[in-house]
Amino acid sequence: MDSFKIKAIERLETAKWCMDKDFTSSCVSNLYFAYFNFFQYVIGESPKGRWKHIGIAKAFVYKAYRESLCSECNEPFKSKEGEVICDECFLQKTSED
């Protein structure tokens, strides 16, 4: 799955190069595919078939909505109602007060 991360970074660098050269449409298409590859990297297994692009974007949003990185320890956790810290950090914080 790291190959998607590498592709995303390459496309981002290419987009930056295109922007410096004023190649606007090439910049935009490279940015689109940089995001697309980043989504593939984050979700892991990609949907296939006709709706591949929409399916990958939906899977990314679904995952991003349900999982967050803890603002204290930076570890992924399931966010229930918009919490920004994991249960462990919450308990540690409340016991310190």
- Please tell me whether residue 68 adopts helix, strand or coil conformation: strand
Q: Which single residue is written with the structure tokens 């991003």?
A: 64
The smaller minimum CB distance to Zn ion, of residues 53 and 93, is found at: 93
Question: Applying CB under 5 A, does 89 fall inside the site for Zn ion?
Answer: yes
Residue 65 and residue 77 in contact, taking contact as beta carbons nearer than 8 Å: no
The smaller minimum CB distance to Zn ion, of residues 33 and 90, is found at: 90
Kindly tell me which residue out of 8, 56, 59, 86 binds Zn ion, with binding defined by CB under 5 A. Answer: 86
Q: Which single residue is written with the structure tokens 């929409």?
A: 54
Question: Applying CB under 5 A, does 8 fall inside the site for Zn ion?
Answer: no
Element (H, E) at 58: helix 52-66
Kindly tell me which residue out of 28, 54, 73, 84 binds Zn ion, with binding defined by CB under 5 A. Answer: 73
